[in-house]
Amino acid sequence: MSRLLLLLAATVVPPMAAADDNEIEEVLVTATRRVISSEDVSSGLTLITREQIRTQKLVTDSLASNVGVFLQQTTPGQGAAIIRGLKGSSILHLVDGMRLNNAIFRSAPTQYFSLVPVSAVERVEVLRGTPTSLYGNDAVGGVVQLVTSVPSFDSPEIRSRGEAFAAFDTAELGKTARARLDFGNSAFASSFGAEYLKTGDRRTGSGARVGPSGYESRAARIVFSATPASDRSWLLDMHYLEQPETPRADELVPGFAQVEPSSSEFFFAPNRRVFVHGKYTKTDGPAGLDWTTDVAWQRIDDDRVTRDFEATERRREANSSDLLGLTLSGSRITQGGSWIVGAEFYHDEVRSKRFEEVLTTGAIREVPSRFPDGSTVTQAALYANVQHRLSNRNNVNGGIRVSNDDVSLPDTAVSAAADIDGTDVGGDIGWIFDATPRWQVLTNLGLGFRAPNVFDLGTLGNRPGNRFNVPNTTLGSERVVQADVGVRHRSERVAFDLMVYALRYDDRITSVGTGDLRSDGRDIVQSVNAAESLIRGVEAGLDVRPSDDISIRAVLNYTWGEQQVAGDATEPAGRIPPFNGSVILSYDAGGDYRLESWLRFAGDQERLSARDIGDSRIDPQGTPGWAVIGARIEKSFAGDWLLSVSLDNLLDKRYRVHGSGLDAPGRNLIVGVRRSW
């Protein structure tokens, strides 16, 4: 394994390429809340294309094996990005610029980003760092934004196009079907899409199927876009995705240091997301600015059915978040760069009920809910950000944000009412130095924050890891200082990125034991501002095209962290990913066939926090390293058909991704067919 990693490390040393005058394709991104070239973004930026997304089961699956991103799965049907050692509510998740993070986002890995239809997503933009001025609350470790496709046509005549996709895999007995139809003209266009996914229990590299771990998902999307004139446009976008009954597999099978599972029943039933987004853009509008107005409503249902192992009481929960958002921004492109000013307003209301059913008698009674029913979070912010080219070689950017967050909790049987109102100021600055026409030096400094939400303040009851949470209504904001420096190279045949970063995360909200036990043996814990973390790391990516037919892509990520909790001795930071990466070799001669092979790997992770050691998902001796290989062949035929056959984990390796709730899939044959017209 060590020889393999040394060899892979050598592959990310950028080759010396002769300068050439060929045009380099410009990639436009929205990572700065206005469309600019990716070469003008000083932060670490990972772009995931539609081709990488469209064949995945979940949109989160596309995040794996990318620069600066580590994907963790507590259970199939869900997935969470870890960026620079941070996760959950420390990462801001956006869909077309609107917050997906809500009042019940956990600081641990969350499942909600998997509730976006795969067929809706055009690309994923991962902004690594602390871009506080643009994105504010929760953008501590980075921002993951899903950019959805917008139907459009060039012709004044009515036109149509469509796509259908079906796939089957052997490791999870997964069956996927998706279809999408666009039609319209240059003035008005629409899109209709639908998805269905059903899996069985996962077969791991041991040859056994782990269950229950199968789940079902169904989704739909309707979009209408209008361009009545060249200077303005309208968009109405509606998403729906539901997983009716997704088991939390790690609760239902014995974990590390367990002889019995934690639960006899644990199902998300259902997890559901409904999203309605309206957008209006006007170029060269009032004050000569380009104006964008967004209004969005998101409803997430996080209902659950749980029963402790062999208990005679079953609990049913109904938890929901209704998030209403409004954003307004004005921007201008100048001779030397661009600038943007904006305002945001979000209001989130949480509903939560919990009932207990006694199986022996059938009696049902209401018990304290997971969250105080009727809790609200209101956020308002003003921000400004400027990008300016000081000279032919120097490009600077920076901004500031003022944000107010108000969390209101009603009283419950176990906690008093509370209202916490806080104002935070954050900002960032970046610099790009064009050392040569092909090489850039980047550096950034960000001062960020994360205000407490309803989950932090008012979560009640059983938590994973044999814990029982009691509320704390005196929390304050978490704060981070993050700096990075890197180099970037672009030429016709070589692209190279390297970022080195360090962040200090203070006043982190963490779960701390009170020293008491419940009658059922669970540790009583409470969230407090009691943790400090120092995290450092390196992110590197290399894309090389030795010829027109062959391309090589290599990724390496390394993260190191330590923390101090409640004044205790310094220990390794929790849930830090191991050294990891991938190498992908592709062959595409432009004909009917395309070949691809890959190697994905991770090193050992033996640096565990005390909480990691007590987590049944993590081997207390550390997570062993692993490496798997796979290959894919694609063939086009009959003009608009594409057949894909993949074989992943070719050697049927048994392994577990660090922090995940069950072993990864074993040898997996995936067959997919797509038709586009």
Domain containing residue 524: CATH number: 2.40.170.20
List helix spans (H) across 207-269.
249-252
Q: How does DSSP classify residue 375?
A: -
Report if residue 22 sits inside a domain.
no
Which of 353-374 are b and which e, b meaning 16 or more Cβ less than 10 Å from the residue's Cβ?
A: bbeebeeeeeeeeeebbbbbbe
Q: Residue 21: which pLDDT band, with cuts at 50, 70 and 90?
A: very low
Query: How far apart (Å, rounded) are the C-alpha atoms in residues 431 and 435?
Result: 12
What pLDDT score does 543 carry? 97
> Which residues on neighbouring strands pair with residue 224, listed in sequence order?
190, 236
Amino acid at 395: N
Residue 24 has pLDDT above 80, yes or no: no
Domain residue limits at 60: 2-17+28-676
| pLDDT over 70 percentage in the chain | 95
The DSSP annotation for 68-117 comes to TBEEE-SSTT--EEEBTTB-GGGEEEEETTEE---TT--SS--SGGG-S-
Give, in degrees to the nearest 5, the angle at Cα 544 between 541 and 550: 135
- Cβ distance 321 to 297 under 8 Å? no
Report if residue 230 sits inside a domain.
yes
Residue 501 has pLDDT above 90, yes or no: yes
CA distances for 61 relative to 116, 200, 216, angstroms: 12, 17, 16
Question: Given its phi and psi angles, is residue 661 left (phi above 0), alpha (psi -120 to 50 degrees) or beta?
Answer: alpha
Report if residue 210 sits inside a domain.
yes
Q: Which two tokens stand for residue 411?
A: 């009283």
Query: How far apart (Å, rounded) are the C-alpha atoms in residues 225 and 279?
Result: 9
- Cβ distance 268 to 313 under 8 Å? no
| pLDDT one-digit tens code per residue, 590-642 | 889 999 999 999 999 999 999 899 999 999 999 999 999 999 999 999 889 99
How many folded domains does the chain comprise? 1
Report if residue 388 sits inside a domain.
yes
What pLDDT score does 307 carry? 97
User: Reduced to 3 states, what is the DSSP secondary structure of residue 270?
Assistant: strand
Query: How far apart (Å, rounded) are the C-alpha atoms in residues 556 and 538?
Result: 8
Query: How far apart (Å, rounded) are the C-alpha atoms in residues 432 and 295?
Result: 34
Query: How far apart (Å, rounded) are the C-alpha atoms in residues 593 and 520?
Result: 60
What pLDDT score does 464 carry? 66
List helix spans (H) across 335-437.
none
Of 501, 551, 529, the C-alpha closest to 422 is: 529
The DSSP annotation for 139-206 comes to -SSEEEEEEEP----S-SS-EEEEEEEEEEESSS--EEEEEEEEEE-SSEEEEEEEEEEE--PEEBTT
Query: How far apart (Å, rounded) are the C-alpha atoms in residues 339 and 334?
Result: 8
Report if residue 23 sits inside a domain.
no
Query: How far apart (Å, rounded) are the C-alpha atoms in residues 197 and 57?
Result: 7
> Which residues on neighbouring strands pair with residue 434, listed in sequence order?
440
Average pLDDT (258-282) is 96
**Reported pTM:** 0.92
Report if residue 594 sits inside a domain.
yes
> Which residues on neighbouring strands pair with residue 513, listed in sequence order?
525
SS (H, E, C) 540-580: EEEEECCCCCEEEEEEEEEEEEEEEECCCCCEECCCCCCCE
Average pLDDT (370-397) is 95
Residue 575 has pLDDT above 50, yes or no: yes
Residue 17 has pLDDT above 50, yes or no: no
User: Reduced to 3 states, what is the DSSP secondary structure of residue 435?
Assistant: coil
For 637, counting Cβ atoms within 10 Å of its Cβ (0-12 exposed, 13-18 middle, 19+ buried), the class is exposed
For 238, counting Cβ atoms within 10 Å of its Cβ (0-12 exposed, 13-18 middle, 19+ buried), the class is middle
